[in-house]
Amino acid sequence: MVYDSLRGTLTYVAPPMLAIEVQGVGYRLLAPSNCFDALPRVGEELCLLVSHQVRENSQQLFGFLTRQERDLYERLIAFRGVGPKTGLSLIGTLSPPELYRAVREQDVKALCRVPGIGKRGAERLLVEMKDELLALIALTPEIETGRKVSPSSPYYADALNALVNLGYTQRDARESIERVLASAPAPVDLSELITRALKGG
C-alpha cells in the first residue's frame, strides 16, 4: 500500500509531528516546519500530500502542503546522506526556489542554515544534487526563478490545492490567491503566495 494523500480531522499537533483521523483511523505524520504555521485548528479538516517511507524495521508517513514539496522531498532523500529527517529539514528551511538557487550557485551558506547540515556536508550535497536538480529546473523553470504566479502556472494550481486542503472553498481560495497576485509589487514564489493568501492577501 502506498499513500498519496490523507484527508481527515486534525487531532493533534506537536511539531514536527501531527495526527489526522480518517474515518476513525488515526494517522501520525512528520511534517516540515513551514507546514505548521499553515495548519487549521485542531478539530478542523485537513488534507496533506503524503510520502510513505518504508524501512527494514519501520514505516513512517511524512506530510506536505503541496505536491511540489512532496515530490522534491522524495528526490532529496534519494541522495546519499539525506535521510528522511534531513530531507524534512531541507524542505522546512528552504523553499523549492531557494534550494534550486543554492544548488545552481553552489551556495554552501544557504545549506548550512538547515539544522543538522554542516559545512562539509553542505559542500558534498551541493555537488551531488547539482546535475539532477538543475535538470529538473530546465523542465520547470518557474520553480527556480520564483516568477510571479498566474492562473496558467503550475504554482497557481499548487497554491489553490494547498488552500483547499486547509479547508478553503475553491472560490475563496481563488479570490485570496488573486488578491495576493494583484497586490504583489514583485514576483512571489509558492511558499510566499500560500502564506500571504492565508493572511487574506
Per-residue pLDDT at 65: 86
CATH superfamily of 5-64: Nucleic acid-binding proteins (2.40.50.140)
C-alpha cell of residue 60: 513512517
Per-residue pLDDT at 135: 62
pLDDT of 70 over the 80 cut? yes
Q: Kindly state the helix (H) or strand (E) to which residue 51 belongs, with its residue range.
A: strand 45-55
More reliable by pLDDT, 31 or 132 = 31
Rounded Cα distance between 24 and 20, Å, is 10
The average confidence (pLDDT) of the chain is 82
Q: Residue 17 pairs with which residues in a beta bridge?
A: 14, 30
Find the DSSP H helices in the chain: 33-36, 67-76, 84-93, 96-105, 108-112, 119-139, 141-145, 154-165, 170-183, 190-198
pLDDT of 139 over the 50 cut? no
Domain ranges of the chain: 5-64, 68-145, 154-198
5-41 pLDDT, tens digit each: 999 999 999 999 999 999 999 999 999 998 898 888 9
The pTM score is 0.68
- What architecture (CATH level 2) is domain 68-145? Orthogonal Bundle (1.10)
151-189 pLDDT, tens digit each: 555 567 778 878 887 778 878 888 888 888 777 665 567
pLDDT of 82 over the 50 cut? yes
State whether CATH 1.10.3470 applies to domain 154-198.
no
